[in-house]
A and B are shown apart, each in its own frame.
Chain A
Amino acid sequence: MMGTGVDGAMIGGEAILGARGLTKRFGAMCAANSIDYHLGPKEMAGIIGPNGAGKTTVFNLLTGVYAPDQGSVFFDGREITRLSPQQRVKLGIRRTFQLASTFDNLRVIDNLRLAYYHKQRQGRCSLGGMCSADLGEVRDESIDECLEQLELSKAAHLPVASLPLGSKRKLELAMALIGAPRVLLLDEPFAGLSEMEIGQIVAMLRHRCTRRMAVLIIEHKITWLKDLVDRISVLVNGEIIADGDYQTVLDSPVTRKSYWRVE
């Protein structure tokens, strides 16, 4: 079931997303310290770590928000270290943000339509086309399906600003999924949600992502990842200190020492 560590055989074949020696410093502090990481094409993996460990920084390096000080990023066998975020999105790398990130001044459905429109038009998304395309005419089953599955159908025509945090997170996930990514990076998708909402998101991920795409989830609480992911990595002070399946990581003495601070 589980993927193996660095450079081993990945679930579904060779790694789709990889990092080699990835390093990022902010002043004197090293937020990512020579990180080697590989994600299998159909693998669902987790990253856990305490506050300020560098988890979000790793996402920012993988998605092109920051250029690394050292090291490189690979996608599908090709180096992408110098590509812009937008170019990486085109390759199929999509992410959500730690602070739920949506268009609050638009309606729920229009958020999804914008996500879908670009996907549908990929490569041919001209300004002229955008001006002449009626937003209301942007329709697709995948939009309705997402609304349905995340129980957002009733809120479809409400402005996002009026939604609670849980619905915003669900919406952001739906926007990422509508883009049919090959790699999906989720930054604390469960933070601040009720158990029921977490259940909906987990079900959605199982249904839409398992064995279909690579998913990497940052999470504080290891328990939510237990039944979801194939593999967990522990990040502390910018370094991956443990990597393996849930039980291995939980039992590993390094993790117990530096993450839970138990001897």
Chain B
Amino acid sequence: MMRLLKTYGTILLVFAGVGVLRLALPGAFLIHVTIFSIYTMAFSFLMGRLGLVSFGQPAYMGIAAYGTGLYLHYFGTNPLLGMMVGIIAGVAFAGVIGGLFVRLSSSYFTLANLALCAIGFFVFQRALVHITRGDTGLWYLGRMERWPLLNFRDPDHFLTFALIVAAGIWIVVKGLDRSVFGAACLAVKANERKLQFLGYNTYRIKWLGFVMANSIAAVAGTLYAVYFGFVSPAIMDVLRAPEVVVVGLLGGVGSLYGPLIGTFVYIAMQDLVSAIFVYWELVVGTMLVLVMMAGERGIASLLESAPRLLRMRARHDRSSAG
């Protein structure tokens, strides 16, 4: 028990910290940060741990959101059950698509995902219009059941719920990072052929990693679906595909807290800078270029190396003084 707390305690503290920020910041902002950081974690898992860069992440998030939305619009009223349906849909979809896509070489993988996202958008906007009602979207906010302890229409309830879910995901990811599977994922990224020559079936490793990552994206999708009580094709708009790439790189892919840091900065910029400066994307873009110079490890790596730099500086000062 103590050992678990020592390993995963930081995660609990960090997300509790985000909750405490509620004293100073609007709930909607923090909810958005929490859900989007889960979505970014999925991308970061793919790129940082497996070396797979996907430009089709909205598809995996969107399928799950539609799973939840369709259930709550047509069938049931229990939002938790709706989330279950969405996650199952997302995982099944990732399982099938992953089986096909992880065989592709890296640039084709990226493009295939982009194409998939464009197809998904078309299917939900046009092809299934009689079910999805196209751009009008599906509305079910009023249909969702409310419980005394968990009322999704209360921002504080929802924020607490989302933070617990996020902490759970971070704990699982950290656990995986410490496992043989986590090391095998990084090994695939560094040198897939070498891993094959140690006897590992790298296709299966990539498949499972892909499915895990996109299960996380699915969770983000279902959270959006129950938060807004509404889902429309905009959630898988292919034009928004690069967004998570930018946020992921901004925070740093592969690190545990990178997705959270990147999302926080990105959404704060979106909300604050856009209020005073219309071309806020320009600011984000410039920041991204600066951060990218530090490699794919983003802001998180700057924060990680800061203590070391300070120590070095201190040592330097001491030695030059002595």
By a beta-carbon cutoff of 8 Å, the part of chain A in contact with chain B is 63, 85-86, 89-90, 94-95, 97, 101-106, 110, 113-115, 117-119, 122, 125, 127, 129-136, 138, 175, 179
Contact = CB atoms under 8 A, between A and B. Distances in A.
A157 to B, nearest CB: 14
Given A89-B198, A118-B198, A127 B187 contact: no
A63 B187 contact: no
B178 A135 contact: yes
A114 B180 contact: yes
A36 B208 CA distance: 42
B199 A135 contact: no
A138 B199 contact: no
Contacts of A127: 181, 204-205, 208
Given A134-B180, A135-B180, 8 more contacts: A89-B198, A101-B194, A101-B197, A103-B195, A127-B205, A131-B180, A131-B208, A135-B182
A248 to B, nearest CB: 33
A58 B136 CA distance: 63
Interface residues of B, number: 25
A138 B195 CA distance: 17
Interface string B188-211: 011101111111110011001000
B183 interface: yes
Q: Which 7 pairs from chain A and chain B are nearest by CB?
A: A130-B181, A89-B199, A133-B180, A103-B190, A131-B181, A103-B187, A130-B180
Given A85-B197, A86-B199, A179-B198, A135 B183 contact: yes
A105 B176 CA distance: 16
B183 A114 contact: yes
Contacts of B178: 134-136
B191 A103 contact: yes
B179 interface: yes
Contacts of B187: 103, 106, 114
14 contacts: A97-B194, A102-B190, A103-B194, A103-B195, A105-B190, A114-B184, A114-B187, A114-B200, A115-B198, A118-B199, A130-B181, A131-B179, A131-B181, A133-B181
